[in-house]
Structure 1
Amino acid sequence: MTRSNAPTFKRPHGFGVLMRLTDVVVLAAAAQLASYLRFDSLLHTTDHIHTVMLCLCCALAFFMFPQSGVYVSWRGRFMSSMLGRLAASWAAVLLIGLLFSFLFHYAGQVSRLWLCYWYVMGTVLLTGYRAVAYFLLRRLRSYGFNTKRVIIVGYGQTGQEMHKRAWRQEQSGYHVAAIYVDGQDHKVPDLSPLSNVDRIETLDDIHGYATSNQIDEIWITLPVSASSQLHELQYMLRNTLVDVRWVPDMLGLQMFSSSMVEFLGLPTVDLNRPVSDGLGGMFKHLLDKLFAATVLIMLSPLFLVIAAGIKYASPGPVFFKQARLGLNGKKFMVYKFRSMKLHQEHGQVTQATQHDPRITRIGQFLRRTSLDELPQFINVLKGDMSVVGPRPHALQHNQMYEEILELYMARHRVKPGITGWAQIHGLRGETDTVDKMEKRVEFDLHYIRNWSLLMDLRIVVWTAFKGWTGKNAY
């Protein structure tokens, strides 16, 4: 069966109620299993408050789960996010039920261990049968069943990417039946490798095509610059009884985020707010301080040994200080162990090269092992830097590459780091060509867009075992 003639199925009337009743039955079964684990008997033989909690929480789940988005379609979404939402909603139901028992002075009679068992068993059963259904449906869709026919309006970079993903991820069950190519779009590639797709010539024809060809969804991927067409399209589709999705051209914008927030009472989209802002960023800041303080205390004897070696190798200060750009372009002085003889730069920064005569003997060792970077934990403690982030570059390099590389200065939307995603992938040391710097910036921007505490931990562990040395460290 091909995609073009694959049957489509609508959810039957009352499907949502059936799902809610199924969840109630599953939660009731989970409560009985929890009772066996805790009391070694059925629930009705225990204190009556547990039966009351069962009835109350099942009723709350019946009415609250739909409000928390538990029953929205999973098609085209990540299962992990949907199951996480379900687990959180179930936890909220139990907390509300416990609050009611507290208000009626029965909280002391509720077995906390039974509640924990019920939560775990309920979460396992609820997510388990959903996961099975999820994979079964994906399997059916990969064979052409339960598909949805789609029109893509606008065929620029975003429209083409959506088409490719719908084709490649056949388990999502989307079949692109037709496209409308805007006059501002780039040259449309050959569509034959993807599927047999109709071409809609004008905006006026979209409504008629959707009505006569059993279209289920319309994806609007027109750029923001086509605002007049968006308004025209909104009016033309006012009576079209299909789901309409607007997919903003975020691929063309190349920014960090596209999260929708409320600002002054209106919905706005933050285009360049880093992912590390917010609660996660607060944890990152706290962990940075604790980690830096621990390192400085534990390695203080090593600091003294290195300082003595630097003093013995050549006259001058132990630390090397240089101005760098930090968060949002704010200047700060970065600290390093001095690895070179004292010299004058004469208004420009000359990067260290292999066999550089300015580097002292101990300096070669410090740079090769990256021990010269250790004083930057002082910068972390001061709040100028983070343990993980894009490496700070000399000011002259910023001025040079700002004009050459697109989005180069976007690296400064987060705090610079002692180590980073680029460094653990070998992009460290001298950047004597534009290509090397471009590659480093590409990895830095990937880190900023995809940041997580787990990613930071991975970078720290990788650096601890493999990231201190390398062929480009000199």
Structure 2
Amino acid sequence: MVIIGNGGSSSAIEDFISRNPNHGYQLVGFFCDDSEMAKEKEMYLGPAANCIDYVLNNKIDEIFCTLTPSENSEIERLMINADKHLIRFRFVPEYHNYGVKKLAVQSFGPGIAVIPLRPEPQEVMLNRFFKRAFDIIFSLFVIVFIFSWFFPLLAILIRLESKGPVIFKQSRSGRDNKPFMCYKFRSMRENDDSDKRQAQRYDHRITKIGAFIRRTSIDELPQFLNVLMGNMSVVGPRPHMVHHTVQYAQLIDKYMTRHFLKPGITGWAQIQGYRGETPTTESMSKRVEADVWYLENWSFLLDIKIIFSTIWISVMGDENAF
């Protein structure tokens, strides 16, 4: 194979082939019209216009092109001649710097190819329908058979220990970064830091009954009302305080990517151990990485796995739940 172009993708291909000799490709050299940059390449074969003659004379099987026809007027002619001589011609997009792991070409219209930065299974209408249907059925079940009798019991216990509302409401960042009012059973004494400060281990603001419902995740039960209303899902990235969204969006490149999805009561990050306080940017980065992985790899069976894993962790106890 030969490569047309001298950009980052060309170097990425060269590096991949050198590290994976069993992949089946042997790189012969590069063609490009930038003579100054070409001097840096030990395998420089000449300008792009000479490519077809070279591959015919040297029995090359494939041409990988990192340039577009608009960047080089020779590309269209090379494509046509490659077909005539049964030489496979492949375009390579310049995505190497963004670390895209999975690329899938989508047809946007006649002759229009679109390459998204990542796969998003939940962008498929049928997938969204099934996920929403499951959210409605599951949340109704929890509200009718669990929340309905838990609420009066917890209301008494919460009010006996401290003053304040039984249900704590807080503005959180939702899908498309739209804020929504998130519900929880109140687990803390009323304080002025609730919209800015995360709960910490041995946090003096947490009540005794609050410590129990947080450890068992019972405090999240009111969020099934959020699911029923449509601003949350049973499974998805956990919703963060608006203040933290503004803060971490400046520190973590892909932080906002998690907001392509509805936030969830539980998520892939949580069953991977990324739950509770995130005292460092690194710990938040790991949570975001898990959230983005979920976005790219969603399936209905994955949601079921996350739900059962969450139930198991809640029963067995989670050291990060406090």
Q: TM-score range by the shorter chain?
A: 0.7 to 0.9
Inter-CA distance 303–152: structure 2 relative to 1 (3 Å threshold): farther
Q: Deviation per CA, 1:336-369, whole angstroms, max 9, x where unpaired?
A: 11110011239x5011111111110111111122
1:234 aligns with 2:76: yes
CA distance in 1, matches of 2:94, 2:158: 54
Of stretches 312-321 and 295-304 in structure 1, the one that deviates more from structure 2 is 295-304
Q: Which runs of 5+ in 1 are unaligned?
A: 1-149, 191-196
Q: Deviation per CA, 1:36-85, whole angstroms, max 9, x where unpaired?
A: xxxxxxxxxxxxxxxxxxxxxxxxxxxxxxxxxxxxxxxxxxxxxxxxxx
Candidates 255, 261, 280, aligned match of 2:107:
261
Inter-CA distance 365–153: structure 2 relative to 1 (3 Å threshold): farther
Aligned match of 2:169: 321
CA distance in 2, matches of 1:381, 1:182: 59
> RMSD over aligned Cα, in angstroms?
3.2
2:187 alignment partner, SS class:
coil
List aligned pairs for 1:393-472, cutoff 5 A.
393-466=240-313, 469-472=317-320
1:455 alignment partner, SS class:
helix
How far did residue 289 of structure 1 move? 1.1
How far did residue 257 of structure 1 move? 6.3
Candidates 97, 100, 118, aligned match of 1:252:
97
Aligned match of 2:151: 303
- What is the TM-score normalised by the length of structure 1? 0.59
Q: Does the 8 A contact of 2:135 with 2:234 survive in 1? A: yes
How far did residue 303 of structure 1 move? 3.4
CA distance in 2, matches of 1:358, 1:443: 29
- What is the TM-score normalised by the length of structure 2? 0.84
Q: Which runs of 5+ in 2 are unaligned?
A: none
Inter-CA distance 174–392: structure 2 relative to 1 (3 Å threshold): same
Opposite residue 153 of structure 1, the aligned amino acid is I
Opposite residue 54 of structure 2, the aligned amino acid is Y
Opposite residue 211 of structure 1, the aligned amino acid is L
Aligned match of 2:230: 383
Q: Deviation per CA, 1:110-155, whole angstroms, max 9, x where unpaired?
A: xxxxxxxxxxxxxxxxxxxxxxxxxxxxxxxxxxxxxxxx223346
Alignment: residue pair count = 313
Aligned match of 2:56: 211
Inter-CA distance 269–253: structure 2 relative to 1 (3 Å threshold): farther
CA distance in 2, matches of 1:454, 1:251: 31
1:153 aligns with 2:4: yes
Aligned match of 2:180: 332
Is the radius of gyration larger for structure 1 or structure 2?
Answer: 1
How far did residue 297 of structure 1 move? 2.0
1:238 alignment partner, SS class:
helix
CA distance in 2, matches of 1:238, 1:267: 19
Q: Does the 8 A contact of 2:271 with 2:309 survive in 1? A: yes
Opposite residue 140 of structure 2, the aligned amino acid is A
Q: Does the 8 A contact of 2:236 with 2:263 survive in 1? A: yes
List aligned pairs for 1:365-380, cutoff 5 A.
365-380=212-227
Opposite residue 261 of structure 1, the aligned amino acid is S
CA distance in 1, matches of 2:6, 2:320: 43
Opposite residue 75 of structure 2, the aligned amino acid is L
Higher helix share: 1
Opposite residue 77 of structure 2, the aligned amino acid is Y
Inter-CA distance 183–299: structure 2 relative to 1 (3 Å threshold): farther
CA distance in 1, matches of 2:188, 2:60: 69
How far did residue 472 of structure 1 move? 2.2
Q: Deviation per CA, 1:177-218, whole angstroms, max 9, x where unpaired?
A: 33447869x99x99xxxxxx9443432342232112211111
CA distance in 2, matches of 1:358, 1:211: 76
Opposite residue 355 of structure 1, the aligned amino acid is Y
CA distance in 2, matches of 1:169, 1:343: 58
Inter-CA distance 266–465: structure 2 relative to 1 (3 Å threshold): same
1:404 alignment partner, SS class:
coil
Q: Deviation per CA, 1:306-326, whole angstroms, max 9, x where unpaired?
A: 232212221111111111121
Q: Does the 8 A contact of 2:252 with 2:285 survive in 1? A: yes
Aligned match of 2:138: 291
Opposite residue 228 of structure 1, the aligned amino acid is E
1:358 aligns with 2:205: yes
CA distance in 2, matches of 1:155, 1:467: 54
